[in-house]
Structure 1
Amino acid sequence: MLRLFEEHIEKGFPYLKQARLLVAVSGGIDSVVLARLCHAAGLDMALAHCNFHLRGEESNEDEKFVRKLSEELGTEIYVAHFETGDYAREKGTSIQIAARELRYNWFDRLLNERKGAYLLTAHHADDSLETFLINLSRGTGIEGLSGIPPVNGKIVRPLLPFSREQLFGYLQENHWSWQEDSSNTDTKYLRNKIRHNIVPGLKTLSSDFLQQFGRTQKHLAECETILMKHVDELREHIMRKEGNRWIISVEELNRLHPQESYLYYLFKDFSFPVDEVRKLLHAMSGKQITSGKYVMLKDRGNLLIEPLKKEEDPFFIIDAGTEEIDSPVHLRFSETEIPGGPDKNTVKIDKDKLNYPLKLRKWEKGDYFYPLGMTNRKKLSKFFKDEKVSVLDKQNTWLLCSDDDIVWVVGHRLDNRYKVSPETVNTLYISGIF
């Protein structure tokens, strides 16, 4: 087993031999074998253990065991204590997800603090099979069936070629002890149900079932690589990026077949449900959907995607003498001419018509102004429609106001009442960066 492990490291992860490593150790069979293999292979390592306080004294015994193991191996150890139940209740999530979030957030901190260059976890071939079956039952895409990746950023899984039986056999050969997690036998958890009720039957199909299954997952992973190359090229062709906004032609999306799969892969990084995207393709302009971090909006013949913005203050005050503001938009104020303009981003205003403090606010239903060059007032909603301003741009538009008057629809049009005339004595120049 040690020879196979060393050959696997030499072939697949030679850089680990020159690095400081963190080995995640729970005290169970898999992680104990990983720690002992790394030690026997002469790798520079420290142990990292999480006490989730979920099994009373049993959790504390696990910690004692791992501390004793670190003493035996002569390695450093880092231990974190979590009140996992409280965290799960606060986040409204399951214990399993809470433990995973706590564990990997802590591992990230250790890596960022340079406690190690890489984190090693003890995932093995049986884990990959179980994950495949879990994802298969949930209707995942091909990426969920192609196996646990051996490397994910700074996380390395060097035991993936080995079965649970191999690891247990190696442990017994050397008469090493381990800690048994009693929750691993509870089949109310899906993974345990698959592990105890399904996987043993699959292994009886052939003596080398896991090896053949591993080859199948390798083929799936290679197919995924080919697929994602095609999707990336397609995304470059049909998704135009302007600033922090993506613009996608509805017509182009409607040409794709099979559409459901294309929509899944094109938008999966944004986490939009495919069914909702398909509905939006045929919705009226102005309809929108949101994911956790993004908003997607139908705007005539396009879909627009932008990051969701945090709720902004309803208005901002600008006092007399202000020279520059950075929020909510970047504006510069000067009594001497600013190079460039006048245009939609740079305006000249009759300063003596202003009443300070000025106010920046978002537009509201019923707002109107007198667009530069016009003597009649115009509702902002009509102005936006005539100028073909998208719904997202309307939502992001700010108004510079003096008392109740709109002085400037920022980035669009000055109000005719505040323009510079032959009678103007003092001029205020305002320039925006958008």
Structure 2
Amino acid sequence: MDDVKDYLKKLIKQDDVVVIGCSGGPDSICLFDILKNLQKEIDFSLICAHVNHNVRKESKNEQIFMEKYCLKNKIPFETMTITKYSDDNFENEARTIRYKYFDDLMKKYNGTYLMTAHHGDDLIETILMKIVRGSSISGYSGFSKEVDKSSYKIIRPLISVTKEDILNYNKKHKLNYFIDKTNFDNFHTRNRYRKVVLPFLKKEDKNVHEKFLKYSKTLQMYNEYINKETTKIIKKVVKDNKLDIEKYKKLDDVIKNRVIYFMLEEKYSDDLILLNDKHVNIINNLIYSSRPNSYVYLPNNVKVVRSYNDLIIKEVTEEVDSYELEIGEKNSKVVLPNGKVIEVVEESEINDNNYARLNKEDLVFPLHIRTRKVGDKMYVKGMNKQKKVKDIFINSKIPLSKRDIWPIVVDSKDKVVWIPGIKKSKFDIPKNKKCDIILRYY
């Protein structure tokens, strides 16, 4: 940890204000302790910010633990509790709420640095997940050690150390902390990377985190250069928020994608995490389509409209019309109004609610994707009787605003066979048995 301490000594000056995001877990307690001890050498203010995500029964105990910990160490303690989630992607929404809260605290205290305890192992996991899921150059680089915001900096001092380094520090200094038991649950993608992929990489090279950090920095350097070049060019192809398609087509492919990202940034701001290169490809397909007048929807009620040579990205407040789309049996991909995609895949080891495995003998093909209808019912997998789709939405806590555009997969007899991302039907085939078609929702 000597490198971390030396870095912080050079960074923090007298009278600086440091806000640390602290969950009460081993990583944030380690960083908290380092900063607390540094106050003996440098006269700066330290504020602890804790977010109670309210999804585990231990969450309240962690909040109380942190409050007592700060009281004992005479550190100002700030906390918030997330009482309700409205998004179907919990991790993205929690992150957005968390950083909005941190931003408010930085303004309240006129903060200099916001510090989080992301470490080298976190960086490896993030990069690998981005590569597998698809992202942008910025996404593939994971996260940075330093990020400039409008009036402060986000600092991740532990990015160069491993989880093992952190645990050894905590053991040496006899620090108490909470363990999030969900970190051991294989249901979460990140946990599978942490338990399976990471140990394999570290067995190959115990300093693999240093290689990933170098990789991250290299991509960030390329990303900065591409941004500079795009800034020079974008004014020539985008005017009054309209993209000139003919001029756009003449650009280099790397610059093209960045122009799209720049346009999306205008609409998404801090929610840009919701997007990846899948959405850029969707927009490019719209641009190169033979249809001069068409549109697609992206997450958060954003609509991309092509009208002859113009492309506009705009927020929509009006209700989305109902739709019905046919999906083929091979290599088929359908872009949905909610910004998601349903595609036919050859195989998958994953068998959660984002996948459906179906047989022709049980259903009438082709399959269709449509919006819900009054009276829709489905035989939920594991149940002997039908359940109203309306009740499934309610039990799954799907916001009312999203139910009318949520995709429902039916066969040609209008039999509901899958509610993507929410529930499978009794027609879903077990993973160990052969099926005729596998659908993926993402």
| Same structural fold, with TM-score higher than 0.5 when normalized by the shorter chain | yes
Query: In the TM superposition, what whole-angstrom CA distance separates every residue of 1:70-110 from its partner, at most 9, and x where no partner exists?
Result: 12321111122222xxx22xx24233334323322222222
* Corresponding position of 1:270: 263
**Identity rate, percent:** 23
Alignment match of 1:109 (pick from 95, 104, 111): 104
Offset at residue 283 of structure 1 (A): 3.9
* Preserved CA contact (<8 Å) 1:24 1:31: yes
**Following the alignment from structure 1 to structure 2, what is the Cα–Cα distance between the partners of residues 220 and 102?**
28
CA 1:305/1:68 → structure 2, altered by over 3 Å: closer, same or farther?
Answer: same
**Which amino acid in 2 is paired with 1:263?**
K
Match in the other structure for 1:279: 286
Q: Deviations over 1:306-350 (max 9, x none)?
A: 644656xxxxxxxxxxxxxxxxxxxxxxxxxxxxxxxxxxxxxxx
**Residue-by-residue CA offset, 1:205-250 (whole Å, 9 max, x unaligned):** 12322112211221121122222222222323333x23xx3342x3
Relative to the length of structure 2, the TM-score reads: 0.61
The answer to whether structure 1 residue 246 and structure 2 residue 246 are counterparts is: no
Secondary structure of 2:230's aligned partner: helix
How many Å separate the matches in 2 of 1:18 and 1:202? 42
Identify which range, 159-168 or 93-102, moves more after superposition.
Answer: 93-102
> Could you report, residue by residue, the CA deviation over 1:345-404 in whole angstroms, capped at 9, with x for unpaired residues?
xxxxxxxxxxxxxxxxxxxxxxxxxxxxxxxxxxxxxxxxxxxxxxxxxxxxxxxxxxxx
Q: What secondary structure does 1:204 align onto?
A: helix
Q: How far apart, in 1, do the equivalents of 2:110 and 2:229 lie?
A: 39
Match of 1:18 among 15, 20, 35: 15
Amino acid at match of 2:125: E
Q: CA 1:185 to 1:266, structure 2 compared with 1: closer, same or farther past 3 Å?
A: same
Q: Note the C-alpha offset of 1:116.
A: 3.5
1:384-426 CA-partner distances (Å, limit 9, x unpaired): xxxxxxxxxxxxxxxxxxxxxxxxxxxxxxxxxxxxxxxxxxx
Please list the CA deviations of residues 240-277 of structure 1 after superposition, one character each: whole Å capped at 9, or x if unmatched: x23xx3342x322333454xx54322112334642343
Work out the CA distance in 1 between the residues paired with 2:3 and 2:243: 51
1:24 to partner: Cα distance: 1.1
Amino acid at match of 2:71: E
The reply on whether 1:189 has 2:182 as its aligned counterpart is no
How far residue 23 of structure 1 moved from its aligned partner, in angstroms, is 1.1
Report what 1:38 is aligned to. 35
| C-alpha deviation, 1:296, in angstroms | 4.5
Contact residue 306 and residue 312 of structure 2 kept, 8 A: no
Report the equivalent of 2:347: none
Q: Partner residue of 1:340? A: none
1:281 touches 1:298 (CA, 8 Å); kept in 2?
Answer: no
Q: How high is the TM-score relative to the length of structure 1? A: 0.62
Structure 1 equivalent of residue 65 of structure 2: 65
Select between 119-128 and 268-277 the one with higher mean Cα deviation. Answer: 268-277
Distance 2:315 2:243 in 1: 15
Change (3 A) 1:234 1:168: same
Q: Is the counterpart of residue 151 in structure 1 residue 152 in structure 2?
A: no
Equivalent residues of 1:270, 1:293 under 8 A apart: no
Range with bigger deviation, 180-189 or 113-122: 113-122
Q: Report the count of equivalent residues.
A: 296
CA distance in 1 between partners of 2:53 and 2:144 (Å): 26
Cα distance in 2 between the residues matched to 1:181 and 1:298: 47
CA drift of 1:171 comes to 0.8
Letter matched to residue 73 of structure 2: L
Residue 54 of structure 1 and its aligned partner are, at CA, apart by 2.0
Report the CA distance shift for 1:28/1:294 in structure 2 as closer, same or farther (over 3 A): closer
Give the partner amino acid of 2:232: E
Opposite residue 214 of structure 1, the aligned amino acid is: L
Relative to 1, partners in 2 of residues 1:296 and 1:177: Cα closer, same or farther, differing over 3 Å? closer
Cα offsets for 1:167-224 (capped at 9, x unmatched): 1111111111111111111111011111111101101112322112211221121122
For structure 1, the 5+ residue unaligned runs are 312-434
Please list, as runs of the form range in 1=range in 2, the aligned pairs for 1:415-434 lying within 5 A after superposition. none
Cα distance per residue 1:2-56 (max 9 Å; x no partner): x422321244x345x5321211111111000111101111142011112223221
Alignment match, 2:403: none
Question: Which runs of structure 2 are paired with 1:189-228 in the superposition (5 Å)?
Answer: 189-228=188-227
SS at match of 2:157: coil
Contact 2:67-2:77 within 8 A present in 1 as well: yes
Residue pair 1:297, 1:304 contacting (<8 A) in 2 also: yes
Larger of the two Rg values belongs to structure: 1
1:118 is matched with 113
Residue 144 of structure 2 aligns to a residue whose secondary structure is coil
Unaligned segments of structure 2, at least 5 residues: 265-278, 319-442
**Alignment partner of 2:216: what SS?**
helix
